[in-house]
A and B are shown apart, each in its own frame.
Chain A
């Protein structure tokens, strides 16, 4: 776990929300495998991360219908991405999120 935690920490340092306009987290806490969404939500909540783009809004939708967890990301260039995180680890989500942010950022 040590190596994975370190890798996760390195990925979290790289998170830059400049490419995002809205991130919607929807999950039912009583459904199975919501740990990764909740950890991702916590990991992206510090002020340091939020300060990379204050225009990026977080929407948290706590459901009560046992639906599977999802993260819906809207990018500045109009693209959208949906993470169905039921079978994803936190590291997988953060890594793919970073890759997508790099692809859709306007800096290129």
Chain B
């Protein structure tokens, strides 16, 4: 009984206001058209803003910089050219110092293979260079222009030793011999191979001297030939006659 009396003392919460909606649910996807006056008022007071055009320059700083560069082309050109000239100077000096420049068609290869090839050539006193084709324009090396398309590599050296280059690159399938510039003279692939087979310059000079000497000595022997035979015959004749008598 004690429990029942305890329950009777509890005060239940009763709110003062209770909200309830007796209309149908509000349909958000297709709202009801508003009142005519309101619609007219809204139509009249719509702001007339200019149409927004997408401007890539507004969002992209790189494009903005480029646009600025185009506007101020004089300053930008000078700035760029200074650095380009510096790089071109290095390349041109490299080309001027080396008397042998041999061009190769490059095949796709990994950096490791490239380094291996570079090292192998370097150990033999040769250097592998990768130069942009644009470097050669307006220089004396423009004669190489037929070779200057696609991917090129150049083996350069101050000393002329083509046979060594051909022997080394023969085992490298990544490098295909195209031609070259040796002692300011253009060579095709066949020409280079023929050049490589030639012996040393001193041997060739010796051969030239021998050839030059051969002609006069032959002329001399031809001129003397008849007199010698005549004198020999006469000697024999004299001998025969003295023996008989």
Q: Give the interface of A toward B (CB within 8 A).
A: 28-32, 34-35, 38-39, 41-42, 45-47, 60, 62-64
Contact = CB atoms under 8 A, between A and B. Distances in A.
B189 A35 contact: no
The secondary structure that dominates the A interface is loop
A41 B191 contact: no
Interface of B: 103, 105-108, 110, 146-147, 149-151, 176-179, 188-191
A91 to B, nearest CB: 14
Q: Closest 10 CB pairs between A and B?
A: A38-B150, A64-B190, A64-B188, A35-B149, A45-B107, A46-B108, A29-B178, A45-B108, A30-B146, A62-B189
Contact of B151 (A28, A32, A38): A38
Contact of A42 (B106, B190, B191): B106
Of listed B147, B188, B190, residue having the most chain A CB within 10 A: B188
Secondary structure of the B contact surface, majority rule: mixed
Given A62-B176, A64-B191, A29 B146 contact: yes
Nearest to A38: B150
Given A45-B108, A62-B176, A38 B190 contact: no
Contacts of A34: 146, 149
A34 B189 CA distance: 15
Given A42-B106, A64-B190, A30 B179 contact: yes
B103 to A, nearest CB: 8
B105 A29 contact: yes
A42 B176 contact: no
A47 B149 CA distance: 22
A95 B110 CA distance: 26
Given A42-B107, A64-B190, 17 more contacts: A29-B179, A29-B188, A31-B146, A32-B146, A34-B146, A35-B150, A38-B105, A41-B107, A42-B105, A42-B106, A42-B108, A42-B151, A45-B107, A47-B110, A62-B177, A62-B178, A62-B189
